């Protein structure tokens, strides 16, 4: 394998933040290039600062490098300045470890966490020197694979990728490595044979083995082109997080990145059942890491990296059943270590006083801001989205925060939710005003930042049938809130650009025809679409026009129960009728409690895979999970369907 | 207890920024469990005092950092242990105790030695340009700071420049440039030489290649002193000369 470093190095001083391109992180693996091994290039299709902390990529990177038959490097999307130099000098996309050209790897695997990175995916394939479309790649050409949350509707990128991998990657990455190794040993390099072999691996979807059908301009289904192609592709789920204590050596970068701290995943999955939340639906069931393993991973990670900040990650960390003892254990270990003060953050704080008390305990060293996500402004709306936070829970939480010294509280809300009225929207301003009033009792400088996002319905959620609000409607609601909060002292409002929300909507639920739109946007210079300075909606709307596609049809329209969805051939374990039922319940304003501590609703996620929720402790956290209707001030009895982890 | 560190930066890691270096040092100190003093308040920070910033992409053989410790530590082997805790390319060359009221590094350094590769002109033309700059009584340079352009006579900041032969891509210079009230950066020296070539009507443009800071000097009694002098033979501490008096910057041989 070759290296682009001699050509890259003399030009690197010309670009912004050249440290993005040199690797050398703590924990980086430097398994030497060797054609006898199956080589992977794990790539995040956005900047280094955003991509490096991605835990999914880091986990797979370690697992492959531990295998005797594999090796892996990493790569990230180059910023515009370097891209111009690369195209001028003919330097292809490269790995940061060995500066090996991307097209010398057996596979390049992208993490897709955000739809607006799709044009960067295309750009990276092109920069790698590979044919853009899977159909044009032959023989030993590098396999293009994608994984991550966005792959639950991979159709918009189906033309560009060879293999889509659904669900947890820990086990399947090894199985794919073995298939590729065998194919390489074979020596015939018959690509269709490899793709067929990969389609037989559970969790792998090979788009080229299927053809989409349409009638009257509407998607009607996907037809297998080969008898061996499975009709339904199931996601992969690892049963026990304890068997996968990865990353064991989290990368500690040389230069500043987002989430620049030690991240330890405490559980995967969430059963709160917030109806807008794709992550909570597709990652079921809940699988908690044993509390003592969390503590060991934190202790080892701090000693190895020198970080003084830890994040305990999950979709709702305060719901971790051993949270209090885990936290006190971590703080005790840190005191003993002599490494100086540390702070622990919980990325998703529970909206009640209990959550704040934990945060206060954690952030003795360094006090960052507190963020709560009530998501909607009225109780009616919160029942519809199944985020059953009572107004008084929020007020208790902010009271507790301001009284313990925090000056600023950030509140996250969504607008454009199903059946939303202006009263619901304005409820956001009302909540913010009341929160500031509570804060002013404690400090004159108390303030609330309200962060507003436009709702994009996602596949495999009860809202997958809902017609997204138009960008004009979202802008109108933003204006309503801006006007309502203008004279509220201490309330600051920030919002996500409704135009970007529309582009995300196109990519989220589009079918295969959206591939042409993504390619068009890319050809017209639309990379880094998550960066507001590089986003122009006009590129997307004109590309839709050129592709003969309608935004009304694809984004704004409510879908019906009987119509084919572009992701019907994939399974996240959830029964479609469970989702439909939940969608009807939403419209009827009926909430659904968390099933961790209440009986099962048979959503399909556990039963389909023969697994169950795995919790570190059989005792629910004080207050149980919000939305269970339990008394939030005390601990609660443990319900029936709970599997206690065997020691 | 106060400590002064001398460290070097070579290879790929030369592309990190000054802030990056600070973060990496802080992490290495925590890995080595150095009892660094922290500032008070909601966001405690370790008390570190960096010397001159090193430009992104420049290498160095002589960077400095002072730090405050709550309790004394064993210095024997500390430089080696910190080097292990730091990423490849950052190397702690020596650690010495510092007198409580020493002048800060930023104030104390009067000039730096630089190895500068210039690319884009033959060695003879570069030699002539160097001679012309050194022979001139003054040399104006345009500088842009915060959107305002000023013209400064930077000639006094060019203390010495020598031509040291050719590299693969260009010409190797060795320069001593002033630091303090009037500071000259290597890139500015290259601009001066480029302007000199332009004045003689030569149609070439000079740019900066590899640059390495070789020395930082303080001034005491009209003589230059490195804040920490490295012992090239790696001799033991027992062979150290008598420490200079406290009013002068310390010059200590370290292993």
- Spatial neighbors of A296 by CB under 8 A, at least 6 apart, are none
- As a whole number, mean pLDDT of residues A251-271 equals 94
User: For residue B169, what is the nearest residue in chain A, using CA coordinates?
Assistant: A10
Residues A66, A165, single domain; the answer is: yes
Q: Is the pLDDT of residue A394 over 70?
A: yes
A85 touches chain B (CB under 8 A): no
Q: Is the pLDDT of residue A635 over 50?
A: no
User: Do the Cβ atoms of B20 and A255 come within 8 Å?
Assistant: yes
Is B223 part of a structural domain of the chain?
no
- Spatial neighbors of A300 by CB under 8 A, at least 6 apart, are none
CATH number, domain containing residue A86: 3.40.50.280
Q: Which of B25, B31, B69 best probes binding to A when mutated, by most A CB atoms within 10 angstroms?
A: B31
Q: Which of A254, A302, A310 best probes binding to B when mutated, by most B CB atoms within 10 angstroms?
A: A254
Determine contact, residues A108/A92, Cβ cutoff 8 Å. no
Residues A184, A58, single domain; the answer is: yes
Residues B114, B17, single domain; the answer is: no
CA separation (Å) from A452 to A8, A137, A335, A481, A494? 41, 43, 39, 9, 6
**Final residue of a structural domain among A215, A234, A253:** A234
Sign of CA dihedral A523, A528, A534, A536: positive
User: Do the Cβ atoms of B43 and A366 come within 8 Å?
Assistant: yes
- Spatial neighbors of A286 by CB under 8 A, at least 6 apart, are A267, A268, A269, A270, A271, A596, A613, A614, A615
Residues B195, B240, single domain; the answer is: no
Residues B73, B41, single domain; the answer is: yes
Is A627 part of a structural domain of the chain?
yes
DSSP codes of every residue in A31-55: PPP-TTSEEEEEEESS-HHHHTT-H
What mean pLDDT is reported for chain A? 91
Domain count, chain B: 2
Is B229 part of a structural domain of the chain?
no
DSSP codes of every residue in A51-109: HTT-HHHHHHHHHHHHSTTEEEEEEEPPPHHHHHHHHHHTPPPB-TTT--BGGGSSEEE
B72 or B235, greater pLDDT: B72
**Band of pLDDT at residue A559, cut at 50, 70 and 90:** very high
Is A344 part of a structural domain of the chain?
yes
Residues B205, B246, single domain; the answer is: no
Is A583 part of a structural domain of the chain?
yes
Residue where the block lists tokens 């952030």: A363
Structure tokens given for A24 = 């050398």
In A92-223, alpha helices (H): 118-127, 172-186, 191-199
Which value does ipTM take for this structure? 0.90
Is A633 part of a structural domain of the chain?
yes
Residues A270, A210, single domain; the answer is: no
Determine contact, residues A511/A159, Cβ cutoff 8 Å. no
Domain count, chain A: 2
Three-class DSSP category at A227: coil
Residues B116, B211, single domain; the answer is: yes
Cβ count near B97 (within 10 Å): 15
**Band of pLDDT at residue A630, cut at 50, 70 and 90:** very low
Residues B57, B139, single domain; the answer is: no
Is B113 part of a structural domain of the chain?
yes
d(CA A575, CA A596) in angstroms, rounded, equals 18
Is A421 part of a structural domain of the chain?
no
pLDDT, residue A383, reads 92
CA of residue A107 relative to chain centroid, distance:
22
d(CA A463, CA A263) in angstroms, rounded, equals 31
pLDDT tens, residue by residue, A339-366? 778 888 887 677 877 777 777 777 665 5
pLDDT, residue A603, reads 87
Cβ count near B117 (within 10 Å): 21
**Band of pLDDT at residue B254, cut at 50, 70 and 90:** very low
Scan residues 148-167 of B and list those with Cβ closer than 8 Å to A.
Answer: none
Residues A268, A219, single domain; the answer is: no
d(CA B76, CA A411) in angstroms, rounded, equals 52
CATH number, domain containing residue A583: 3.30.750.210
d(CA A28, CA A15) in angstroms, rounded, equals 23
- As a whole number, mean pLDDT of residues A601-606 equals 84
d(CA B48, CA B24) in angstroms, rounded, equals 12
Q: Which residues pair with B118 in a beta bridge?
A: B171, B208
Residues A220, A266, single domain; the answer is: no
CATH number, domain containing residue B66: 3.30.70.580
Nearest to A145 by CA among A236, A191, A206: A206
Rounded to the nearest 10 degrees, the angle between the axes of helix A514-523 and helix A118-127 is: 60
Q: How many CA atoms lie within 13 A of B193 on its CB side?
A: 35
Q: Please give the residue range of the domain that contains residue A203.
A: 5-234
pLDDT tens, residue by residue, A291-305? 999 999 999 999 999
Structure tokens given for B95 = 């650690």
User: Do the Cβ atoms of A24 and B12 come within 8 Å?
Assistant: yes
Is A272 part of a structural domain of the chain?
yes
Residues from chain B that touch A16, judged by Cβ atoms under 8 A, are none
Scan residues 348-387 of A and list those with Cβ closer than 8 Å to B.
Answer: 365-367
**Band of pLDDT at residue B232, cut at 50, 70 and 90:** low
User: For residue A405, what is the nearest residue in chain B, using CA coordinates?
Assistant: B42
pTM: 0.92
- As a whole number, mean pLDDT of residues B241-253 equals 37
Q: Is the pLDDT of residue A492 over 50?
A: yes
Determine contact, residues A385/A274, Cβ cutoff 8 Å. yes
CA separation (Å) from A315 to A312, A318, A411, B3? 10, 9, 17, 44
Of A12, A21, A365, the CB nearest to B44: A365
Least confident of A151-155, A221-225, A607-611, B241-245: B241-245
Residues B96, B166, single domain; the answer is: no
pLDDT, residue A623, reads 47
Residues B140, B207, single domain; the answer is: yes
Nearest to B152 by CA among B116, B197, B192, B107: B192
- Spatial neighbors of B45 by CB under 8 A, at least 6 apart, are B38, B39
Residues A91, A229, single domain; the answer is: yes
Write down the number of H helices and E strands in chain B. Answer: 5, 13
Is A115 part of a structural domain of the chain?
yes
Residues A216, A293, single domain; the answer is: no
Residues B92, B118, single domain; the answer is: no
Residues A226, A318, single domain; the answer is: no
Length of chain A: 647
- Spatial neighbors of A178 by CB under 8 A, at least 6 apart, are A69
Residues A43, A124, single domain; the answer is: yes
Residues B94, B123, single domain; the answer is: no
Tell me how close the Cα of B136 comes to any Cα of chain A, in angstroms: 31
Q: Strand locations in chain B, DSSP E?
A: 2-9, 48-50, 59-68, 90-98, 109-119, 140-145, 148-153, 158-166, 171-178, 207-220, 223-225, 229-230, 253-254
Residues A276, A186, single domain; the answer is: no
**Final residue of a structural domain among A199, A234, A269:** A234
**Final residue of a structural domain among A193, A219, A234:** A234
pLDDT, residue A597, reads 66
Residues A265, A224, single domain; the answer is: no
B27 touches chain A (CB under 8 A): yes
Length of chain B: 255
Determine contact, residues A286/A615, Cβ cutoff 8 Å. yes
Residues A175, A271, single domain; the answer is: no
CA separation (Å) from A297 to A63, A126, A246, B6? 16, 39, 9, 33
Is A507 part of a structural domain of the chain?
no
pLDDT, residue B250, reads 36
Is B141 part of a structural domain of the chain?
yes
CATH number, domain containing residue B176: 3.30.70.3190
Q: Please give the residue range of the domain that contains residue B38.
A: 2-102+235-254
Cis peptide leading into residue A394 (ω within 30°): no
């Amino acid at each position: 394998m070759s290296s682009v470093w001699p050509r890259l190095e003399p030009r690197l001083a010309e670009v912004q933040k050249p440290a993005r391109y040199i690797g050398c992180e703590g924990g980086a693996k430097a398994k030497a290039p060797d054609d006898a091994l199956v080589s992977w290039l794990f790539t995040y299709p956005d900047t280094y600062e955003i991509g490096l902390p991605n835990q999914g990529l880091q986990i797979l990177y370690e697992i492959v490098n531990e295998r005797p038959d594999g090796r892996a490097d990493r790569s990230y999307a180059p910023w515009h300045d370097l891209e111009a130099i690369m195209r001028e000098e003919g330097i292809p996309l490269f790995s940061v470890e060995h500066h090996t050209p991307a097209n010398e790897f057996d596979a390049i695997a992208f993490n897709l966490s955000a739809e607006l990175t799709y044009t960067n995916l295309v750009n990276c394939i092109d920069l790698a020197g590979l044919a853009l479309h899977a159909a044009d790649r032959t023989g030993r050409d590098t396999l293009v694979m994608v994984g991550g949350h966005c792959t639950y509707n991979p159709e918009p990128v189906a033309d560009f990728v060879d293999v889509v991998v659904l669900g947890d990657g820990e086990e399947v990455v090894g199985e794919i490595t073995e298939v590729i190794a065998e194919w390489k040993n074979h020596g015939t390099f018959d690509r269709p044979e490899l793709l067929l072999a990969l389609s037989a691996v559970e969790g792998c979807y090979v788009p080229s083995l299927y053809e989409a059908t349409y009638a009257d301009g509407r998607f009607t289904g996907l037809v297998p082109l080969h008898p061996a192609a499975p009709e339904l592709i199931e996601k992969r789920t690892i049963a026990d997080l304890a068997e996968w204590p990865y990353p064991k050596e989290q990368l500690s970068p040389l230069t500043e990145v987002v989430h620049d701290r030690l991240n330890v995943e405490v559980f995967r999955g969430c059963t709160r059942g917030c109806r807008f939340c794709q992550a909570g639906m597709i990652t079921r069931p809940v699988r908690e890491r044993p509390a003592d393993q969390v503590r060991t991973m934190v202790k080892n990670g701090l000693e190895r990296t020198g970080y003084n900040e830890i994040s305990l990650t999950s979709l709702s960390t305060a719901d971790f059943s051993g949270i209090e003892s885990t936290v006190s254990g971590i703080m005790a270990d840190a005191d003993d270590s002599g490494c100086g003060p540390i702070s622990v953050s919980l990325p998703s704080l529970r909206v009640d006083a209990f959550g704040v008390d934990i945060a206060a305990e954690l952030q003795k060293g360094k006090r960052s801001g507190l963020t709560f996500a009530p998501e909607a402004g009225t109780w009616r709306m919160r029942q519809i989205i199944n985020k059953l936070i009572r107004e008084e829970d929020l007020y208790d939480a902010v009271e507790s925060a301001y009284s313990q010294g925090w000056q600023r509280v950030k509140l996250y809300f969504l607008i454009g939710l199903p059946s939303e009225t202006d009263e619901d929207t304005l409820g956001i301003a009302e909540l913010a005003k009341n929160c500031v009033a509570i804060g002013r009792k404690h400090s004159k400088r108390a303030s609330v930042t309200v962060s507003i996002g436009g709702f994009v319905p996602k596949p495999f959620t009860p809202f997958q049938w809902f017609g997204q609000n138009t960008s004009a409607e979202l802008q109108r609601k933003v204006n309503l809130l801006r006007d309502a909060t203008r004279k509220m002292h201490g309330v600051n409002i920030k919002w996500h650009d409704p135009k970007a929300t529309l582009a995300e909507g196109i990519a989220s639920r589009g079918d295969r025809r959206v591939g042409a739109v993504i390619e068009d946007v890319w050809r017209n210079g639309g990379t880094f679409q998550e960066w507001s300075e590089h986003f122009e909606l006009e590129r997307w709307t004109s590309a839709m026009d050129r592709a003969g596609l309608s935004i009304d049809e694809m984004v704004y329209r409510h879908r019906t129960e009987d119509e084919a969805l572009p992701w019907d051939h994939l399974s996240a374990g959830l029964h479609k009728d469970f989702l439909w039922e939940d969608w009807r319940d939403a419209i009827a304003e009926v909430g659904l409690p968390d099933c961790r501590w209440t009986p099962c609703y048979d959503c399909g996620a556990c039963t389909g895979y023969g697994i169950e929720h795995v919790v570190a402790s059989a005792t629910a956290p004080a207050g149980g999970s919000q939305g269970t209707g339990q008394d939030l001030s005390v601990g609660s009895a443990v319900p029936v369907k709970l599997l206690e982890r065997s020691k | 207890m106060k400590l002064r560190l001398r460290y070097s930066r070579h290879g790929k890691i030369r592309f990190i920024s000054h802030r990056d270096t600070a973060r990496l040092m802080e992490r290495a100190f925590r890995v080595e469990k150095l009892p660094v003093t922290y500032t008070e308040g909601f966001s405690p920070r370790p008390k570190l005092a960096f010397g001159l910033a090193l430009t992104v992409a420049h290498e160095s053989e002589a960077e400095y950092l002072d730090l405050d410790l709550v309790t004394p530590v064993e210095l024997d082997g500390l430089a080696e242990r910190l080097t292990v805790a730091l990423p490849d390319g950052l190397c702690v060359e020596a650690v010495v105790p510092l007198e409580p009221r020493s002048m800060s590094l930023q104030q104390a350094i009067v000039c730096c030695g630089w190895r500068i590769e210039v690319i884009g002109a033959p060695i003879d033309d570069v030699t002539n340009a160097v001679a012309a700059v050194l022979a001139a009584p003054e040399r104006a340079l345009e500088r842009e700071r915060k959107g305002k352009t000023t013209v400064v006579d930077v000639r006094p900041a060019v203390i010495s420049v020598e031509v040291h032969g050719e590299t693969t891509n260009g010409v190797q210079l060795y320069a001593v440039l002033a630091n303090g009230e009037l500071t000259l950066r290597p890139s500015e020296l290259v601009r001066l030489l480029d302007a000199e070539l332009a004045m003689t009507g030569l149609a070439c443009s000079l740019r900066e290649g590899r640059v390495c800071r070789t020395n930082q000097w303080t001034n005491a009694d009209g003589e230059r002193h490195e804040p920490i002098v490295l012992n090239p033979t790696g001799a033991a501490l027992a062979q150290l000369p008598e420490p200079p008096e406290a009013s002068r910057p310390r010059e200590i041989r370290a292993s």
